[in-house]
Amino acid sequence: MDTNAFEALDSAVIAAALRAPVRFSLALLDNCASTSTLLLDRAQQGAPSGSVVVCERQTAGRGRRGRSWLSAPGDSLTFSLLWRFPEGTPPPAGLSLAVGVAVARTLEGMGAAGVRLKWPNDILVDGAKLGGILIETLSSGGRHAAVIGIGLNVRLPREIAAAVDAPAGALEAVMPFAPSRNLLLAGLLDGLAAMLDEFARSGFAGLIEEWLARNAHAGQPVRLIAEGAAPVEGRCAGVDADGALLLKTETGLRRIVSGEVSLRQP
């Protein structure tokens, strides 16, 4: 029997595995509506940078554009991280793409093969979705903060695979063995902290080449779907320094801002 299937999340194990545990404050929950919703509330009440909420069962987990995020206890890792940027740092444009780079670095470092990034916030392998990223920002007095929500499939129970409308994947299929969720979370938090330090210095521009190297749709024909508008088709020409998608169309190069559309293959 695979004992990892029943591995409980343990704050002591996670803290011991972190390179810099002092940078994080962990809250492990059995149930909540949404880790990001909860952490947004805590952020508005003054929660410090580095606050993390991890939850086994989300009853109202949220993805991009109002979609639900489905997870299974013991088989998924769902958490949110609050990060407050230094005073004078500009608004965090392109942050969802930068977070994708941090997640890919961590997964590759743990032995995952073929990790690719789909603009603006999906983590893929062989076209199947391993996980997603949701960024929500707060600004006050010229200072900016972000709640970074991440969901990853460690394994893929049949009920989750049957409930989603796109190919879904899991880490156990692309790694030598399913990773410890405690070690995975510690690695992701360390990777995010390192990336966010880079991001504060140079923004997404300093990470763009790493994102482009993992671009799942580089040079491929894609279709952009937006509510209330006709689909737009073109070839994926990469991304700009602020994280906007560059789309080569019959009428020229277009910049597409994250949050407006859904990217699909025609």
Q: Please pick, among 64, 84, 116, 214, the residue that the annotation labels catalytic.
A: 64
> What is the arithmetic mean of pLDDT over 33-59?
94
CATH of the domain at 249: 2.30.30.100
Domain hosting 67: range is 3-213
Percent of the chain residues past pLDDT 70, beyond the cut: 86
Residue 163 has pLDDT above 70, yes or no: no
Is the domain of 13 the same as that of 117?
yes
Sign of the C-alpha dihedral, residues 247, 248, 252, 253?
Answer: positive
Answer yes or no: do 246 and 132 share one domain: no
Give the up-direction half-sphere exposure of residue 189: CA atoms within 13 A in the CB hemisphere.
Answer: 32
Residues 140 and 229 grouped into a single domain:
no
Widest Cα–Cα separation across the chain = 58
User: Do 146 and 85 reside in the same domain of the chain?
Assistant: yes
Does 245 share its domain with 199?
no
- Identify whether 64 is a catalytic site residue: yes
Is 251 a residue whose pLDDT tops 50? yes
The number of distinct structural domains making up the chain is 2
In the structure, what pLDDT confidence band is assigned to residue 261 with cuts at 50, 70 and 90?
A: low
- For 115, the token pair is 């990790």
* 111-128 residue pLDDT tens: 999 999 999 999 999 889
Of 176 and 102, the one with more pLDDT: 102
Note whether 154 and 121 are same-domain residues.
yes
How much is the pLDDT for 4?
Answer: 44
264: annotated active-site residue: yes
- Whether a cis peptide bond, with omega within 30° of 0, leads into 120 is yes
> What does the pLDDT read at residue 229?
74
Sequence-separated (6 or more) residues with CB below 8 Å from residue 65? 259, 262
Name the most confidently modeled range: 2-6, 156-160, 186-190, 218-222: 186-190
Place 161 in a pLDDT band, splitting at 50, 70 and 90: low
Strand order in the sheet with 245-249: 252-256, 245-249, 232-239, 221-225, 262-264
Mean pLDDT of the chain: 88
Tell me the per-residue pLDDT of 47-65, one tens digit each, with 9 for 90 and over.
999 999 999 888 765 554 4
Helix or strand or coil: residue 128? strand
Q: Which of 105, 118, 129, 214 is catalytic?
A: 129
Question: What mean pLDDT comes out for the span 145-152?
Answer: 96
- pLDDT the model gives residue 72: 63
